[in-house]
Each structure stands twice: as C-alpha cells, then as structure tokens.
Amino acid sequence: MNSEKENISTIIEVKGVHKSFKQVHAVQGIDLKIREGEFVALLGPNGAGKTTLVEMIEGIQQPDKGEIWILGRQWDGHADELHRLIGLSLQETRFIDKLRVWETLRLFSSFYSLDQHRSNQIIEMIGLQDKKKAYVVNLSGGQRQRLALGIALLNQPKILLLDEPTTGLDPNARRDIWSILLKLKEQSHTSLILTTHYMEEAEQLCDYIVIMDHGKILREGPKHSLLNDQDNEKLVEFSLEETITQPNKIFDDAPFAIDWDEKQQLGKAKISMVEKSLPSFLNYLSTKNLIVKNMEWRRQTLDDLFTALTGRHLDE
Amino acid sequence: MSRPIKFEQLGQLIIAYSKELIREPGVLFWGIVFPILMSLGLGIAFTKKQDIERHVAIVNTSDSENKKILNFLSNNGEIISGDNGEDTYKIILQDENMGNTTLYFEPMSWENAMAQLKKGTLGIIVEEKEGYKIYHFDPSNTDAQLTYMKISAVFNSRVLQSARNDVVKPLTLRGTRYIDFLIPGLIAMNVMTSCLWGLGYGVIDKRSKKLMRRMVATPMKKSHFLFSLITVRFTMNLLESGLLFLFAWLVFGVIIQGSIFALIIVFLAGNLAFSGLAVFIASRTANTEIGNGLINAIVIPMMVLSGIFFSYYNFPEWSIPYIQKLPLTLLTDGIRGIFIEGGGMSAILIPSILMVTFGTIFFLFGLRIFKWY
C-alpha cells in the first residue's frame, strides 16, 4: 500500500500543508512532526490557524496542498481506523441536554464497542462520580469540559487533540483539566496536540511548543530551549526617571540589546547570568546619566517570546 | 471489514434519542396533549347543537317618521334594558332540531353601530329611511348573510318558526360529523409537524451545538445517526396518533371504517415523505433561526391549503389539482378516506407511492448535500 509507511517514533507528520477559505490563507505551508508520548502546544492568538491545522489532522478539513500522515496512514481510506486511534475535544461541544453523565458516556462507549466498565473508569478519572446521574444541562462549564475530555479519552487514544479545552473556564476549572492531563502524561503514551492562547497552559502541560501566527509557524522547539533557560537568561524590565524620546540613539552602545517601549516608557533587556551581569548594566546606565526608577527581572515567558516575534501579545 | 449494522451503536442511539424526547415536557405537551386539546375544542365547537345569538343595530330611530321597526319590535319582541341605557328587543326563533336563534335588536347611533361592526360584536346594521328598511352588511360574510335572511323574514312576518312542512334531520351518524373530518386531518398534521420539527429541527440543533461533528469524529456509522433519529420519530408519531385516535374514539366515538392495514401503509408513507423532507431541510443549515424559518415556510402553507380543518374545495378551482398533490393533502385525504369512507388499499396505493417517492427523492438529495460538520 503506497499510503502506508513506517516511522517508529513519529506519530503525526504534517508536510507542506496549505489551507485557504475564500480570501483567507488560514494555513500557509506548515511542516510539523509529533512523536509518541509528546505533549505539543500550538500557541497563537485567534486567527493564527491553529484550529484549521488541528481540523486537518482530525480529518474534517482536507489540505489544499501538502500531506498529513497519522501513524503511517492518511485519512483517505483509513477514516474508521483513525477514528479509533484519535480522541478529541472541540472548543465547545454541547452534548444532549437531558441525557445523564453516565448515559452520555455509555452512548459514546457504544461507538467504540466499549462496555460499561470503561465508562465508570472515565467517570472516576474526570472526577464526576458525584455528578454521574446529573443531566448534562445541569453541569457547570468546567464539569462539561471535563466530560468532553472524558469522552475524548474513552477509547484510550494514541493521539489526543484538544482545541482550546479551557477557554472561558475559571482558574480552578482550568487546573482540574490540567491535572487530568498531567496524570495522563504520567500514565500513558498518548501524544497530545493542544491549541491554546494561554501561555501558562502551554508551559504547564507541554514539552514542545509551536508558536503560530497568520497561518505560519514562527518558532518551534522544546519548551526550555525556546525560553533559553539553559543559559539562565532573564528578562530585565526597567523604567527611568528621564523620559526617553530617541531610544535608538541613547541605547546604541548598550552592552545588552534594549527594547524600549516609548509609549509605556519601559525598557526590556535579555541578560544571561543576570546576577553577574547586572552591575555592568547599571554602570552603563549611570555613565549615560540615566537614573533607574524601577527595575525587576524575571524568567522569560512564552508571551515575551511571542511579543518579540510578532510585536503583539498572545491575548490581543 | 466493518459490519453493516452495529446493533449496540444503533440501540444506544435509539435509547439516547428516546430519553431526550420523553424527558422534555414540552415535547409531550405539543406532541400529545395539544392535538388532543385541539380536537376536544374543535370537536365540541362544531359537534354540539348550539343556540345562536346574533346582535343587530337599529339606527336612525330618532326620526319620528321612522318608527315602524321599533313599533314592530315592541309588539313582537321582549324588551330588555341594553348596555347603552336604551331598550333592547329580544326575539327568539324556536327550532328544536337546529337550535334556537336569539336576535337582539339594539337601537344606537350610526357611529356606535359602525364601531361595533368593526369589532365584530354585530354583523348587520338596519336603518329605516322614508318607510324603507336598509340593511348594511358585508355580503361576503356568510354569517351576516344568514342573519339578514332571518331578520328580513322576521320583519316581513314570514317566519317566526321553521317551516312547518319541512323536516330537518341533523346528521349525527359516525363519519358525517365535523369531528370525523377533523381527526384524520389532525393526525396528518401531527405527522408533518412532528417530522419537520422533531427530526429536521433536531438535526439542525445537533449540528449547531457541534454535537453531530463530535459524534462523526468517532467510529459511529453516519447512517445509524439518521436511522435512529427517524426510528424514534416514527415511534413517537405512532404513539401520538394512537393516543389522539383513542381519545377521539372514547369521547366522540370516532371509528376507522376502512382497512387498518391500508391505514398503516398510508401512515408509514406519510412519515417517510415528511422524514425525507426533514432531512433535506436540515441537510446544510447550522443556524436554528434559519431552520425555524425554513420549517415554518413549509408547514404553514401546507396547513392552510391541505384541508386539515376545512375542505380545500373552498379554494379556487384551478388550484385544487395542485393542492391535491401536496404531501400533506395526500396523507390527509388518504387517512380521511380510510376513516370516513371505508377506503382500502386501492384508494391509498397511488397516494402512498407518491409520498414514498417524494420522501425518497428528498432524503437522497438531502443526504447528498448533507453537512456533517
């Protein structure tokens, strides 16, 4: 069969994929490999193309160009098989209002020829034992999302696709979802693709981060290498007593690249080994007769990285 | 190789949709209680012999030259005090068979009479001018026309009772009453609304909630999704129609005079026709408001045209052949033929074939363009 190929560690391979809707070029030539057991975050603002990419992996959108291989198979001719290997949770799914939690799980179990035992396991896993007999319509937003996640996990999927699973949830409900996923990470070899615009979510759950914007991958890599943690690089944010109007002229000979926001009158500099390098930075400022009003340093976040790449924040 | 029918899947889908349906009190009310209430209301309104009351305005009575009508009324009628302070005259036309007609003659101003005519509280204004009576009423209003005939007879002292030589025998035989005409129509209408709202709107709703998309992302067979919805709807329709018939039989003594087998065939054909139409309507729409409008656009014209409540022969003659081809007319005529004319297979064969063809074409076409997500 020419549509089957062997690749042991790569679970999903996306090769040169394009997708357009009318005037919008939603996905513009994406290449991506996802390995077994890897938790991958597709991070980007609304309209970045994350959902379209996931929908193509999920098989409900066809790429205009390029190929998608899942466990050595393509969707064409393998739909039934792939449906058994993938679990997914959409941005928002409303299940049948007047069906109880256990009945909803029983219904979806029947699609995978699973028995009642598996439904009970899932109810325990998602912590809805007390709500087992509740109608879906009476569940809170967080409980519904946990049910959706439980349904996605019914078939013990090799690949789990979660499209913004915690959007609109309060912090506690979000953490409940995270703890289920972190437990899954420990206990199974499931690969996860998670789309989100919460950097905290991506940082908490995933080891591999793909930053997307305007249908393209801007940067990808293991979380620590993306954030340069191995160099112990910190982000120093500072403000000055003086108003700076021509930052390029003033900071052109700085020992570290300084990114100055004229509107906020706030400077950012990435500094390695900050404890050792900070005195030289302060010295530099005093030679320029600039007085520091406020200064703090912190670990670089994905939002900082995204801002550096696009000039915008993730939640814009 | 996957099996063509996965009984576990199909069974669970049927159970889930049935529970969804029976747990919604609104479904039970609109599907079962409402048609029964409608048949009760209309059945009583049109079956019971009722005394009739009609109000007539008498205007221009202040003119001393024109007192003929008032003199006649005071001699022949009973004087009761009216709402406006003026005397009202009551004349009762006795009729044992058809019910009494009570006429109330109320003297009033022209403006007041016109205002009441517009409100519908009276249908005729009688004016006396130079010794002549002038009757004002809408000639296309059959009720006003009938009242005119009755009061002109009263004024001309021709009839104060029904003609002595004529015998009026009210039709109370089963099959000839309005309720016998109505019940088959209500059953047919229920099949249509139930399929289009229950099935069509149900699919649109599941699509708009993204539930359908979530379900087809599993190994669920798509055919099972639709088949289970249709099965639950058929069963529900059978139950609703059965209960409506049972009620009509117990309360009004409505019976099925023709073949039960033929009734089952025409009922199934009607269900198929409207299920096909429902799948077609629901094939692409993801917005429940658009779905609402689409269903109304189909349901309302057919409800008006297909002779559910009154015979479609009241419509212009040129339109009758078209009306008779509408699926709701085919179903209504089919069921009515079996209920009241004692029809059998030969009477419903062609309408049933037409309905099955209609349903199949719409179903297949709907399936072809069906949007699962």
> Of A58, A80, A93, which is closest to B211 when you measure between CB atoms?
A93
A4 pLDDT tier (thresholds 50, 70, 90): very low
> Which residue of chain B comes nearest to A137, CA vs CA?
B20
Is there a contact between A90 and B8 if contact means CB atoms under 8 Å apart? no
> Which residue of chain B comes nearest to A161, CA vs CA?
B217
**Tens digit of pLDDT at every position of chain B (373 positions):** 456 778 899 999 999 999 999 998 887 788 888 888 988 888 887 766 567 888 899 887 666 655 778 888 888 888 887 666 678 888 888 877 777 888 888 888 888 888 888 888 888 999 877 778 889 988 888 888 888 888 888 887 655 444 555 666 666 666 678 888 999 999 999 999 999 998 998 899 999 999 999 999 999 999 999 999 999 999 999 999 999 999 999 998 899 999 999 999 999 999 999 999 999 999 988 788 888 899 999 999 999 999 998 889 888 889 999 999 999 999 999 999 999 888 889 999 999 999 999 999 999 999 999 998 8
Is there a contact between A97 and B20 if contact means CB atoms under 8 Å apart? yes
The terminus-to-terminus CA distance of chain B in angstroms comes to 25
Residue B202 is encoded by which pair of tokens?
């149900």
Residue A76 is encoded by which pair of tokens?
């064409």
Q: What is the mean pLDDT of chain A?
A: 88
Q: What is the DSSP string of B300-340?
A: HHHHHHTTSSS-GGGS-GGGHHHHHHSHHHHHHHHHHHHHH
Cβ neighbours of B373 in A, within 8 Å: 60
Cβ neighbours of B210 in A, within 8 Å: 90, 92-94
Q: What percent of chain A has pLDDT over 70?
A: 95
User: Which tens digits make up the pLDDT trace of A143-155?
Assistant: 999 999 999 999 9
Q: Which of B13, B27, B213, B214 to mutate to test the interface with A (most CBs of A within 10 A)?
A: B214
* Residue at token pair 């030969």: B346
Interface size, chain A vs chain B, as Cβ–Cβ contacts under 8 Å: 69
> Which residue of chain B comes nearest to A101, CA vs CA?
B16
The 3-class SS string of B257-295 reads CCCHHHHHHHHHHHHHHHHHHHHHHCCCCCCHHHHHHHH
CB A102 within 8 A of CB A174: no
What is this structure's pTM? 0.78
Residue A255 is encoded by which pair of tokens?
């020992």
Maximum Cα interatomic distance, chain A, rounded to a whole number of Å: 75
CB A191 within 8 A of CB A39: yes
| Alpha-carbon gap: A176 to the closest alpha carbon of chain B (Å) | 22
pLDDT of residue A156: 94
User: Which tens digits make up the pLDDT trace of A104-113?
Assistant: 999 999 999 9
Distances (CA, A) of B354 to A304, B33, B279, B341: 68, 31, 18, 21
> Which residue of chain A comes nearest to B202, CA vs CA?
A96
